[in-house]
Amino acid sequence: VVSGARTPVKISVLEKQQPKIYKQFLDIAAKLEKHYRDMQDIEFTVERSKLYVLQCRSGKRSAAAAVQIAADMVKEHLISREEALMRIDPASLQSLLHAQIDDRAKGAPIAHGLNAAPGAAAGIVVFDPDVAVEMKRQGKKVILVRPMTTPDDVHGMVAAEGILTSQGGATSHAAVVARGMGKPAVVGCEALLIDLRTRQFTVKNETVHEGDPITIDGSTGNVYRGELDMQAAKLSSQFGQVLKWADDYKALGVYANADTPEDATKARDFGAEGIGLCRTEHMFMQVERLPVVQEMIMAETPDSRRKCLEQLLPMQREDFQGIFRAMKGLPVTIRLLDPPLHEFLPSLEDLLVEVTELRATKGDAATLSQKERLLRRVRVLHESNPMLGLRVCRLGIVYPEIYQMQVRAIMEAAVEVKKEKLDVRPLIMIPGVGTVTEMKALKDLVTTEAERIIKASGVKVPYQVGTMIELPRACIVAHRIAEYAEFFSFGTNDLTQTVFGYSRDDAEGSFIPVYLDRKILREDPFQVIDQDGVGEMMRMALDRGRSARPDIKVGICGEHGGDPSSVQYCHDIKLDYVSCSPFRVPIARLAAAQSVLKDKEKEKAGTGSKPDQD
């Protein structure tokens, strides 16, 4: 049997054939489990009606089994709640929250990329976000396949079951948005040769056309041809029980990144204590709003921009009302517009092709005129390095009317919800501040508009104004910024980029795999906080910020908020909270509890909890 030359019968057969030996086996198994205080993998044999136990060891288990076993052993008084919490790997909980491919259905993958967002999805291939929306309307399941995604593609991502890209890394647009939506994603699948013109991709001498079915596994990064069978996600009562125990021990708050009322509701279902990041730009990308946003960007004067913003105001206000209602008085941190404006417009290359074709074919004059006007504006907004250009708080300085509209929408929404006898706690976050003068100027803008709304409505709404710390300079002058900022939130995605000087989308698809393989980097810094560099910047900002404002609340809202070792670091430096995508909230809750329990173990051993530094 041990050699694999024989197939053993099921143990239930032993009960029928030799009931005495079966009872003896159960007694021994119970004693071993009680002695080792863990589920045991027992090897035994029966020879001439005599039971021989050959060996035993702690048994391997799935994530679902680990939760079940831990909860059962607490119930049986074999282990404490603390031990139960420490026996579960937080990262393994991801597999419980998403559908998975049935093991019996798996074949050979046709391609492999980065496992960017967990879970599995199957559907027909589409290459265009508009087609994805139309197919969804027809009741068809689709997988959106793109070289990379941009904010222009969000409506297609919403319609798709999953996302597959040939470029990008684990913190690319596709990865971050998919995780927030709870949709599986495989990114950076470089073997895919995508031809958007003919609507097909080629991989390993196989060609997959639009309309062909594929399956993606965001937990492993595998891509399969055809539609494979799935196992639906199932959350047991023990899962909820274990997380309640975690909440009893953890010191860190766990918030969620959520951009819609649906996201907010999901976040609360998973135990989020607030929203640590609501990205307002995602609200602009809805199909019916994008033309208004583009017209606002095309406007040449503040007055004409304000007219467009007046159309966007009720849309944003409605979004915020839904989120405030869903969160029922929990804090909601809303980031004012962050990305460069060109992201809301067609790409320069696409427009050049369209204008050239219209001129060459003498196409419709009105269409040509409109495209030429758009092209002129895109050229004006085009930047050599948009990540460090006209974006974040600089947008609010150059185009203050945009931030004024957003603050008005936030506060008017808060007033309306407050009139419904519901508590609201808006926290207005200014992105990308690097100087105290930026912070002061924009706090003045925010408070002036907010107080105007409060005075006009006669409804008092408590609110705070803070900033996202994502630049090294902001960390260095955090004590000055804290004179005006009432809270800090570390944007660890961009802080990692600016500390390392890496472009995350380029780095993860090119040299970071080599760096990891050659041990130049121990971990991918875009997935695990780099404690020696980025972490020290965070520690500096925290200490300096609290020296100026002792009660300042500080958290993180980058993707690191759902990584267990990063949660441990945030606990060690005494942040107030972490924020992550809704589907990572259970992971962060358990990791936060384990951080406290590890401190207890270190105290017993007589050591401190400060992490080792190189």
443 and 370, same structural domain? no
Helix (H, G, I), strand (E, B) or coil at 125: strand
Residue 281 pLDDT greater than 90, yes or no: no
Q: Count CB-CB contacts under 10 A for residue 308.
A: 21
Same domain, 194 and 317: no
Q: How confident is the model at residue 538 (pLDDT cuts 50, 70, 90)?
A: very high
Question: What percent of the chain lies above the pLDDT cut of 70?
Answer: 98
Q: Is 173 noted as a catalytic residue in this protein?
A: yes
Look at 62 and 611; give whichever has higher pLDDT: 62
Which of 231, 265, 283 is where one domain is finished? 231
How would you classify the pairing of strands 162-165 and 111-112? unpaired
Please report, as a single letter, which amino acid is at residue 535: G
pLDDT value of residue 288 = 81
Catalytic annotation present for 393: no
**Long-range Cβ contacts of 23-29 (<8 Å, 24+ apart):** 24/51, 25/51, 28/53
- Enter the pTM of the model: 0.85
| Rounded CA separation 375/243 (Å) | 53
The answer to whether 114 touches 171, Cβ cutoff 8 Å, is no
Q: What angle do CA 445, 474, 448 make, to 5 degrees?
A: 10
* 215 and 298 housed in the same domain: no
Cβ pair 176, 559 in contact under 8 A: yes
311 and 424 inside one domain: yes
| 611 band by pLDDT with thresholds 50, 70 and 90 | very low
Tokens 């965001």 belong to which residue?
218
| 19 assigned to some structural domain | yes
Q: Is residue 357 part of a domain?
A: yes
Pair 5, 140 in one domain: no
Q: Look at residue 28 and tell me if it is in a domain.
A: yes
- How many domains does the structure of the chain reveal? 4
Work out the end-to-end distance of the chain between its first and last CA atoms, rounded to an integer number of angstroms. Answer: 49
**Catalytic: which of 189, 557, 570, 580?**
557
CATH number at residue 158: 3.50.30.10
Residue 296 pLDDT level (bands cut at 50, 70, 90): very high
Q: Are residues 202 and 288 in the same domain?
A: no
> Within this chain, do residues 487 and 587 fall inside the same structural domain, yes or no?
yes
**pLDDT at residue 613 in the model:** 43
One domain, residues 429 and 329? yes
Range of the domain at 29: 1-60
Alpha carbon separation from 483 to 403, 425, 539 (Å, rounded) = 21, 21, 18
* pLDDT score recorded for residue 1: 54
d(CA 369, CA 364): 9
Q: What pLDDT is attached to residue 204?
A: 86
Determine the number of helices (DSSP H) and then strands (DSSP E) in the chain: 26, 23
pLDDT of 2: 56
Residue 352 placed within a domain = yes
pLDDT in tens, 568-584: 999 999 999 999 999 99
- Give 117's strand partners: 185
pLDDT tens by residue, 163-212: 999 998 887 889 988 988 889 999 999 999 999 999 999 998 899 999 99
Tell me: do 336 and 353 sit in the same domain.
no
* DSSP strands (E only) in 494-580: 553-556, 577-580
Percent of the chain whose pLDDT exceeds 90: 70
Of the listed 98, 173, 282, 560, which one is catalytic? 173
Claim to verify: residue 201 and residue 125 sit in the same structural domain = yes
Comparison of pLDDT for 235 and 66, the residue scoring more? 66
Concatenate the DSSP letters of all residues of 448-491 into one string. Answer: HHHHHHHHHHT-----EEEEEE-SHHHHHTHHHHTTT-SEEEE-
Q: Output b/e per residue, 522-550; b: 16+ Cβ within 10 A.
A: eebbbbbbbbeebbebbbebbebbbeebe
285 and 433 co-located in one domain: yes
Nearest Cα to Cα of residue 542 among 497, 478, 492 = 478
> Has residue 69 been placed in a domain?
no
Asked if 469 and 336 sit in the same domain, the reply is yes
User: Mean pLDDT throughout 462-478?
Assistant: 98
